[in-house]
Structure 1
Amino acid sequence: MFDVVPDSYLADILFHNRVDDRCGITVITQPPSHVIEAICLIQKRLSQVIDSQRLWLTPSENLHLTLLELIYNCSQAQVEEVLLQLNERHSLQELLSYIVSVSPVLHAPKLKLTPSAIILIFSSKDKPIPLSQYKLLLRDKVQIDLSGYSVPRYSTTTETGHITLARFIAQIKSSDVQQLESLVSGINDTLRDLVWHANNEVNVRSGPVWYGGGHRELAAANGIRN
């Protein structure tokens, strides 16, 4: 059993009408319909254990897996500076065409409880390319100067990516944690055959890309749908 650490930032937004003005630039892929349907069923079962005052469920239209996060927790002015660099070096649509042409295949998902969230972790197949190598390719492809900005620290060895299904926004009882652990164990036995290509609905987004709403979709591309 573990201790829940609620997402106080998200709780403030939901309960106190706070505006999330943290900005960033990110490349995401949105899951295909069969993955979204599976996630919605999981979320329904989670909500039967923990109510909405304690567990926030990610809306289906916001479900995504991050492929590349260039900067995060920055001002809008900093975002515009980085976008200027990007536009000088790349056509975003050409960059996305490259991204969808070499994307990995994700499979064997497992639901996992973390102190602040419930996530669905996907492993990647070795062919056509493992996720760790893919992320390095994307970073090398961008090749812009991000010194002086808040830049995520990526692990170059991880073969997994995740989708956040829910976040804890208040403390829950130990008995509820036990129920969740039992539920997660049972759900994982049913997910073994879920597979998808990570080039479905790829988008480049900028602005308040977390909980703030109002982000801009700079470019989009579709690869293999499955």
Structure 2
Amino acid sequence: MSADLQALPNPFATLLNGIENNPRAIRDLCDHHRVTRQAASTAALLSSDNIVVDPILVNVVKEGESSDPRNSLVVWTRPSQAVKQLVRDVQRALRAIEPAIWLMPEADLHMTTMEWFHSVDTETAHGITDKIPLDVVQSITTGPKTPVLLDTPVLSFDQHALAITFLPSLQTHDVYTYLHYRRDLVDTAASVHDPDLAIKMRYAAPSAHVTIARFKEPLARNNTTRSWVEALERIDRDIVRPRQDLVWKIEGPAIMRAGTVWYGGGWTLKGSLRQN
């Protein structure tokens, strides 16, 4: 789903209004999305011969960031120390099973809280970002109006990538959740009345995730898709699920990032209250 959100309703507002802004219903919605998506992804993996190699990542590894033609504008949240430790432990286990897997470097780990536009060339990206008012960049990167909490981490995966995913906590400040924060980011961006700055996000799923690995080579010969799925489910059970009480507290500042952001690259916009 890609849309000009200056002309359409805020998708996160629509989601929240549909469940009357109820924290339990919000959590259940996100949980249902996570469980349903994982079931479909697992089935797709088991019915295929291998994972899907990312050809652009292959080029980036060989030739550098400039070989990625896709430039985007996003808002990032950096993971907490506890989340980074969890990612380290999971990545270590992944490397032991599949040595050639590409692991997101710790310094580049992020959660995308909003996507303003995506997949344009470098010149277009600079032209668009140069038009964003400084006060809008500062407002967006202030962070949520009150801290938002995520918890219940799970290892989620499909044929393309692996991520640690989270749910909005039932512990809220003023009944303000991660989805409310995403709604407010979109509202702020949509307040800029310039057709060149129309919001064109790829999708607006009720997901909170940190991508931790992708594929630059097929699975090793000793790994079938079934053995791979079983290994990932074991990592989730033994490493991730025991930390269900992990709480990720999200507060400002955030980062506004443009360019080749898919693998953690790009540049930080002038006025962003957090630089890296």
Q: TM-score, normalised by structure 2?
A: 0.69
Instruction: Tell me if 1:61 matches 2:107.
Output: yes
Letter paired with 2:273: A
Bigger drift between 6-15 and 57-66 goes to: 6-15
Q: Identify which of 95, 99, 116 aligns with 2:140.
A: 95
1:146/1:26 CA distance change after superposition, 3 Å:
farther
Q: Identify which of 235, 246, 254 aligns with 1:194.
A: 246
Aligned to 1:82: 128
Instruction: Tell me if 1:36 matches 2:84.
Output: yes
User: Can you give the 5+ residue segments of structure 2 that lack an aligned partner in the other structure?
Assistant: 1-41
Bigger drift between 113-122 and 128-137 goes to: 128-137
Higher strand share: 1
Instruction: Tell me if 1:8 matches 2:52.
Output: no
Taking only the aligned residue pairs, the percentage that are identical comes to 24
Q: TM-score, normalised by structure 1?
A: 0.82
Per-residue CA deviations over 1:3-61 (Å, capped at 9, x if unaligned) read 4222222123224667113211111010122221221111111111110x2x1000000
Letter paired with 1:111: L
RMSD: 2.7
CA distance in 1, matches of 2:128, 2:90: 37
CA distance in 2, matches of 1:137, 1:93: 14
CA distance in 1, matches of 2:55, 2:168: 32
Give the count of matched residue pairs. 216
Alpha carbons 2:258, 2:266 under 8 Å: kept = no
CA distance in 2, matches of 1:121, 1:164: 9
Higher helix share: 2
- List aligned pairs for 1:97-112, cutoff 5 A: 97=142, 99-112=143-156
Alpha carbons 1:32, 1:200 under 8 Å: kept = no
Aligned to 1:206: 258
Secondary structure class of the residue paired with 1:190: helix
Aligned to 2:93: 45
User: Can you give the 5+ residue segments of structure 1 that lack an aligned partner in the other structure?
Assistant: none
Bigger drift between 139-148 and 188-197 goes to: 139-148
